[in-house]
Structure 1
Amino acid sequence: MFKKPFTVKKNTNQRNSDSRKLFNRLKEEVNGESNIDKKGQVAQVKLTTFEGTQMNVYTIDKVPMLFEFSENGNIYPTVYYMWNNQKTFPVLICHEPVFSYLENGADLMLPGVIRSSIFPFPTFRKGAPVAIAFYSSETETVSGPSAVGCSMMSSEEMVVCGFKGKGVQVLHVFRDQLWDFGPKGVPPSCSLEDWNKIGVESEESEEDEETDERKELDACQSTLPKEEEKQEVIQEEPMENLLTRCFLAGLKHRFTRNQLPMDVGQFYTQCVLSCVPDGRRLDMKKTHFKKFATFLQEINELESEWIIKITPSKEKKGADIVADVNFSNKLFRDFEVTDERIVDEAPAEKAKFDAPVIAEYFAITEPTLKLFPGCSKGDLLTVKQIKEFVTKYVNENKLAAGGSVRLDPIIFSVTKIQTDTTPWANLMKEIHSRMTATWHIRWPDGREIVRKVSPPRVEFKIENRAGNKKVTLLNGLAMFGIDIRTICHQIQTGVATSVTSQWEVPGVEGPQVLVQGNQIHFIADLLIKSYGIDKKFMKGTELAVKKKK
């Protein structure tokens, strides 16, 4: 299946809800609990095999762990998953030489499966995911599992047929292209005694834990004083009350008329959420309003006069803005602050972002070498150094003619200028064009890289998605040492919009950031002010929304 290279069509991070569904599907397949990092970043990789089969591979922190042919079919483990969960799927044991046949593309023949009291034969249905481990009689160790496949008959049918014929269609083996897609680890090996303990120890430990928990619970219940049993439960403040308090506090202490008109989403983020008391969390979905727009509509109906006026935005389709605020509203005037945060605490002193130092050079080429005595081909020179060499050459050969330079055979052979004289600016431009533009990038941690021909750039693109909605694509951040999670959070809170990142996008160097709407103005300002990136290293800023005069 993965013997030949495959093509990655898409690689996207999954939402938490999709990850939970995946882990629930896995839980139905495996025996016991999986040793898997459920808090890791889960990504779905859509790929096409060399034979043209389309399938999904699921990676956790960039390590391929599971794969499937359809979202309703079997979910298969990779060798990386099996090495951390050796008996969660049914495992067949074969002699070590069998692996070479499987690696060359053969399916598992049943006569090659070891059946003994040392290796009990597992039970499984027809078409179930099956792993294959290998036993070495010389060292008496078991390695793997190092292959994964689909059973071509049930365990009962294998016994009935006398273990003859094909038993498992092998899909994935150690050292194939799917293994190469991950960190390229080596199969673990263990003694027979340790192998047989796997699975048994976990069951015993689970039983012991359950027993200990019961004992602790009984002990706690028996020692609880009667006063604690009678203690009344303190009722938590309704989420609707918290929302109202934060709304009024934000309106009174964090909002001014100078900010009008203001996007409703921005108002909610900067004024309402900023007032949530320490130790509390405001969850709109736990209120009966469900949406902030519904809350604004209802709070205007509480008194005889309105408190906040909301109108549709003329610039942004589908968005609303705060058009006016009635500061004489009784609800607003009577509100008094209790534990709401009306002033932000002084932020902890953060380490300033150290932008990489980018130096621009030109590399000496064979045609230009004559103008730079003492230098070699490939040496890097700054614009100032080039000017000094050329000026020295012109003065020594008395070629200066006012603001122009007379061309001798050497300068002509380098620049190919057809006139007898040329201005200094034109001469330098032609010399630079005959050299190789080079950029030397040095990060604060000491790492260095040299790029030729094309400079490092943060590239902005605007694309239309479903419903004619515009999105901003941001490429090239990794070259400047910018942490993707940090800048995504800054953009998300700064413009109150959805921000996601995608890895391994075809034709893109490093991760790609996707932002809803045309947000080039904000992101460019953020890169210049917070990250110290010069605007000359940005491409596509002209695509930003034109500001009205």
Structure 2
Amino acid sequence: MFAKAFRVKSNTAIKGSDRRKLRADVAATFPALSAEQLSELVSNKEELNVIKLYAHRGDAVTVYANSQNPVLFEMEKSLYPTVYALWSYPDLLPAFATWPPVLQKLAGGADLMLPGVVVPSCGLPQVQKGTLCAITLAGNRAPVAIGIATMSTAEMLAAGMKGRGLTVLHTYTDHLWGFGDKSSPPTIAPMVADPAEMRCTEEEGDEGQEHGNHLSADPSLVTDFGNLGLQEGDDCTELGKTNENGAAEMAEEENTEAPQEAEDSRTPQEQMDELLHQCFLHALKCKVKKSELPLLTSTFLRNHMFSCCPEGQQLDIKKSSYKKLSKFLLCMQQKKILQVKELSKGVESIVDVDWKHVDIRSFVVPEMSSSVPAAQENRCSDGEQQYHPPEIVPLYGVTSKMAPLFLESGHKKGSLLFSSDVRNIIINYVKNNELVDETNKNFVKVNPILCDCLLDKAEQDEISKLKWDDLVSRCLERLQLSHQLTFFGHEPITRKGNIDPIDITIAQRSSNKKVTIIKNLEVYGLDPQAVANILQQRVQASATLGTLPGAKDRVQVQIQGNQINHLAKLLLEEYRIPRKYIQGLEKAPKLGRKK
């Protein structure tokens, strides 16, 4: 989850009431913690900061940092410890051991495959599907990652220790670890005399680790670590040098070989059922946002599930055992993954999704070669880099005038928020201050802060109530508009103001000749030279580049004739730029009827 850089939304000191609530949540989530350990983890004396951030996939995460080190993070109302916390309490979670070379793959975003798990003779820890677990390196009990079990221990053994074992959430050396002091794991000796007695899954172990239930490490066993977990000189690494490489290779091959073997023995209907479930969970985990609900079931299938279908396969519900989308969604509703209602006669919509459901949390997004059809991936003029349209998200900055309204939620002047965040903050503010009108709940009473922030001087003596929609729209209008651009494979870029549209104009030249001028292609990551070359080949007309007046870092493309129809097909169909970001398409020449 933190393999790529995240965007910090806010960083504030925790309130006293929030600190008490956090301590109660930690005690409920980790009941094995003693009162003394709980007071150490969530201390009353030390400063504790609350950091709200967005992961690279857009997931909202709340991080709690103690002494500059993140010790806990919260996602979808579930608490997880970081490696910094687990180094103080190494036995807080059931642990699975792996070989040191596998850590590099985990830090790069891979999940822990069962062939890479080191099995002691005393057996694996007993866990259920969805259990939060720690990952350690052979020969050292200090956890280096945390993950969620994708199956129970019994299912792991029944599968012959093949397949995906843990969905990794956070690792040592990832960006969340880098947010702290970047210290290395301590050396915590295994609870056996000789760690070299551990064996991989193919070997019969002579002596295994003895798993204790102690929550804090013996101080005599903890020393400065350096980078021992990544070195190849320890005893366990020397013993399993051959097995390490084999485990890493098997971890990669298992993901592709095992499903292929299974598909040979399954009927086409069973294969379609599995593909349907995969696209369904993939769409809920990566495509659907809470702000989109309620969402038409037909739109969910067309815009979200079909786009999650792997390349070379075709999703066809009629070929599955469900036959109809409504029947499939009813089955998913019975599993309490989502809730479907008929908001209007004959039209069903998804009104709620339980993103904390174990099936969604444990689902691992398959690696897809590309989510864009080949015809839509136009290469640049050098023929190497493929173009992917940027993801454009509007942001709203808190101004000095609006700051009093957002102060209660911990946001100061300059904080950037998504529209859904603004809406939620306004709703919480109204409810916390009991401003909902008792006689008509569609209206909100205007208190002094709302009056100063949202009403003009002429309105302050006349308006005492506002409708919910009017309240939110007024708030968005008075915030500073910004936008976030995310290009494929790059970190998000935040800029103030509206994004400049691609501007297409028709200019008149001598002898009544017309030329088409295209501006602002660079804003969307397009190479003007590549666009000029493509148009020149298609319309057989000369195209030139010139400096854009008033902008030193941009150029404009000029091509002979009115070529808006060709340009529209290129930008809309092939480059997949949304129409709302293109200005001037209405100037296209009307095509005459063919005789």
- Identify whether the pair has TM-score above 0.5, normalized to the shorter chain: no
With normalisation by structure 1, the TM-score equals 0.35
With normalisation by structure 2, the TM-score equals 0.32
